[in-house]
Each structure stands twice: as C-alpha cells, then as structure tokens.
Chains A and B, each alone.
Chain A
C-alpha cells in the first residue's frame, strides 16, 4: 500500500491529521516525531514513504529528545539532499500548515519555496466540505503517481526522448509544439535526467500550474467564450466536440486535468473560418450553439459586464474569463516559449484583496494602470 508520513510536533495534530490524510487511500499511520533532523532522515530511509507531509512549525513543542531548532524548510532541505544520494527513495514533500504560519512565516521564506511540491492549509483538510478535502487528498495521490511515473520513465528512456516521454507525445506531434527551453530544465549538462523531485517541480510549476502548451479548463472556457458558471454547457460541448481528444495524459495527469493547446487550436481552426480570439464572446457562443445544437451561456466580463469582449484567458486570480484590454500582465520572471504569461482582470486589481492573498504580482509596466484603477481614473465602461 502507498505509505505517507505526516510530521508535526504537536502530537494531537499529528494523530488527527494523519487519520484525515489516510482517508485518501494513502496510509499515514506511521508516526515520525520531529525529534532531530538526523533522526527523521534515518526514519525516512527506513520507512521509504511515497510522500512526506509536514507542518511548517516543528520548533514549538519542547520536550526531551527534541532539538526544537528547525522548521519545515530546514528539514525539507536535508531530505532533498538525502534523496539525491538515494534516488529510488525520492518522494514528494508537501507543506500543511495554518493560514497564519503560511502567510507570516512560509510566504517570506522564499528560499524554501522550491523545496515543497505543494502546500495546503490545515483548514482545507479539516474542512466539513468533503469536496475541498477530497481535492487535496486527490492531489497528494496525484503527486505520488507522478513521482512514480517520472522514476519509471527516467529509468527506461534515453535523455533524447525524455521530455516527450514525460509528456506522453509521439515524436511527430511533439515536434510541432514550442518546447524550446524545457529540455535543459529536465536534463543536466552531462545529458542525464535531473533528480525526480527536480523534474517534478519543473513540470508542475511551469507546465501544469500555468497555461502554455497545456491549458486548464478555465482557460479553455475563456478561449471559447463560455461562462465559468455554465458547467452543463461546457460538459455538453466537451462531449459534442470531442474535447477528450485534447486531454493531456502525461505525468501529473492523474489529478491535474489539462488539455493540449495545439490540439484545441487545430480543432478551432478546422471548425471555424476565423480565429475565435477575433470574435466577441457572445458570437463565439452563438457559433458553438449553432454548430453543436447547444444552449451554452456566454462569458461576461467582470469589468465591462458584457459578453461583447474578446475573451482570451482565465484571470490568474479569480479564474474567470478575461480580455486583453481589461486585464494587466502578471509578473513572471521566467518567460518561456512553452508557458503563457498570466493575466489579471481589472476587477481583481480593483478589489485587491484576493490578489494579495494569492500573492500574485503585477508586471512593473502595468503599475500605472493599477494606480489608475484604484484611484478611479480608469472606470468601468458606462460608469
């Protein structure tokens, strides 16, 4: 059975949360107390967990045998080094902590961010809403599967075909999409695959978590001009137009549902005479409804309040469809050919709160627009 360990210096939390974590099909019954980093490392080598979840504060409880001088970042760093020496044991490391610790301690601790595959709030796991918990547990399972897939591929595929094998594309199709810059992130200077956790991080952060050669459902809806609330309409269209053919089935696909952008674009090119991005949302949906005999509801701009916008992507903050003219660019220090720069809708810029909570930054070049929106110089159309 898949094994996980949850490390927390608060014994009650350790017990309760381990039980909740185990509900996702991973056995978290093994207890590893955060006594010293060296002890934890030995236990990890002995247990060989498939996933490690840890609280951020491991330095609060002071008792006999506990160093109480390290937090999650320090421990994760040592474990990552350990996995470089023991590549077969390489496992995802996930942070699970309180909102306060995440905001006040983990967020400023930027050097440790790359050590964790994902982070979650304890409240999400303890939430009475099963959907929220299930999604988190499914993500943990998805990480375990992805690590296992990456190990299997790096063990069996030569570096020349590593990227397309991870993405599960045939060579002829892989050659048609812009992936320049991806291979050097996954294969080291000596031509060997990077460590599993490094490959996992690059794919998860750069391909799965942001749109680019892969699109999430929200972005796909925006490109089609469909309302983010019209789930039935999107499902019906998915079935009628065969969107399952665009589904990505490479690493991380067991939890993260993504669509190949080039397959979608080709379908759009074959289905419509003119690019959808040059047609307003209402008309796009009109074309879709006529073509597939559906009653899809068009997207509405959160800024202008109409469907007469050229929706282009999903806002990085609210996930709603947004248009170029009423959105600003999200700051991205790593611009590559295989990923798209995120956009943030004017509405989220105006409301500010969620933008700050998610800690998404805006491009410097668009800062004047931000000031103008917040000082009401840029107004909503018709205001």
Chain B
C-alpha cells in the first residue's frame, strides 16, 4: 500500500518548527541564533493560509548548529538556509506537494580559505535538465573567493524533497550522532515531528519508486524523474 501525502496546516507546521528548534536547542545541537531563525519562520507561518503556506530562512541568518571539527582539526558550522519552501495540498499522492522547494546545507569553515561543502536541494526549473526534485553539490558560496566554488553543476541526483525539519535530522544524526541516539532518535515528540514531515515529503517519491519498480513496461526511475517528463505535471 502506498502512503498518502498529508499536508499539515500552516499552524501545525508553525508549531512543528518551534518544537523542532526547542528540542535541538535543549539537546545542545542548535545555536540560540539557529533557534531564533526557525522561530521567526514559525511566527510568519501563523499568518499564512491553511492549505497553501510557505517559509524562508535566509542563509545570512540561518539555522546554525554548534561547531564541529573535521579530520584535520578545522572547525566548521553546519548551516541550513531555505530560499523558499512553498507547500500546496496535492491532488493525489503521486503529485508533488511543493510549489517551490529550495533548501541548502552548508558546512561553513571558520578558515575562509577552506572550501565549504554545500548541498543544494531544489526543484528543476522549466526546461532544466535533471530530475524534477534533485540534490546537487556546490553552488555559489565563497564570494569573494569565488575560485573555491565548485564549477560543475552535475550530477543532479534524484532525491525526495526534505523540508527543514528532515534536514535538521540529517545534521543531528550525522554530526551529533551520540546526542541524536541518546536524546532524539526514540523521543516521542521528535518522532512525531519527523513523521509529520515525512508524510509531506516522501509519499509522492514512494509512489514513483513503486510505479517504476512494480509495473512492467513503466519508465525506469531516473527517466520517470527527469524534468521533461513532468512538463504537464508541475505543481
């Protein structure tokens, strides 16, 4: 059975952003500034509409986590910025529930001369080659040291959309694994948040997977995900 897309109301998502921030703050993963950024987005959601809402978190005032250290002992801060996430209630669970989805995770090194890894998730623009929802590495980050920016835009990996809560979980689990295991992974309130976001983000992806794998003669997954197949199905 394929899961159904469930889009929470703007107020439910507002509450979720605050809860997510509070829990990450209390477990000492998120900076107070990062919490304030999530909370600001939560406040703004309050005045949106129930069935179509959006939020942005500028990278200049990002969801910033506590400093981590790489293998060479260099300090970096994981930061999440949301250019825009705009959600609509889809017609069915095969449709993408996002009008806009543009979010990035950057590991910002203290030392300006070090390349900062950046993963950028978004939806393909009209006529852009690549999967409709994709992840690509790099992008513009290093001004004025532009030579540090990655000059290759490909590959664009087919990926399910992740909202800011799901991406926060990725950061928590990967960069703060012990805390995530001890304080979050089985915490009921945390799981409720993650489940809520999964129900927005994953059902249409799952439907696509299921269709490609389970129906003989159907388009293979990457082909089915390619932007040109979505021309008349874009949200």
Contact = CB atoms under 8 A, between A and B. Distances in A.
Interface of A: 175-178, 180, 261-262, 265-266, 268-270, 274-275, 277-279, 310, 312, 324, 329, 332, 335-337, 339-341, 365
A176 to B, nearest CB: 6
A365 B33 CA distance: 14
Contacts of A340: 32-33, 36
Q: On chain B, which size bracket covers the interface?
A: 20 to 34
A278 B22 contact: no
Nearest to A323: B60
B46 A176 contact: yes
Interface string B72-99: 0000000000000000000000000000
Interface string B21-57: 1100110000111011101111111111000000011
27 contacts: A176-B14, A176-B42, A176-B43, A176-B46, A178-B39, A262-B46, A266-B43, A269-B45, A275-B40, A275-B56, A275-B58, A277-B37, A277-B58, A277-B61, A278-B56, A278-B59, A310-B58, A324-B33, A329-B31, A329-B32, A329-B33, A337-B18, A337-B25, A337-B35, A340-B33, A340-B36, A365-B67
Contacts of A180: 22, 26
B156 interface: no
Contacts of A268: 44
Interface of B: 11, 14-15, 18, 21-22, 25-26, 31-33, 35-37, 39-48, 56-61, 67
A221 B34 CA distance: 20
Contacts of B45: 269
Nearest to A178: B18
Nearest to A266: B47
Given A178-B18, A178-B21, A265 B60 contact: no
Given A340-B32, A341-B32, A274 B58 contact: yes
A337 B21 contact: yes
A335 B24 CA distance: 12
A51 B44 CA distance: 41
A169 to B, nearest CB: 13
A277 B15 contact: no
B80 to A, nearest CB: 13
Contacts of A332: 32
A176 B43 CA distance: 8
A176 B45 CA distance: 10
B15 A176 contact: yes
B145 to A, nearest CB: 15
Contacts of B43: 176-177, 261-262, 265-266, 269
Contacts of A177: 18, 43
Contacts of A278: 56, 58-61
A179 to B, nearest CB: 10
A266 B58 contact: no
Contacts of B36: 340
Contacts of A261: 39, 43
A365 B77 CA distance: 12
A141 to B, nearest CB: 32
A312 B11 CA distance: 25
Contacts of A341: 31-33
Contacts of A275: 40-41, 44, 56-58, 61
Contact of B44 (A175, A178, A265): A265
Most-contacted residue by chain A among B18, B40, B58, B59 (CB, 10 A)? B40
Given A310-B60, A324-B60, A341-B32, A178 B22 contact: yes
Contacts of A365: 67
Contacts of A335: 25, 32
Most-contacted residue by chain A among B31, B36, B41, B48 (CB, 10 A)? B36
Nearest to A339: B32
Nearest to B32: A341
A298 to B, nearest CB: 16
B21 A265 contact: no
Contacts of B32: 329, 332, 335, 339-341
Given A275-B57, A277-B58, A336-B25, 4 more contacts: A176-B42, A178-B39, A269-B43, A275-B56
Contact of A269 (B31, B39, B44, B61): B44
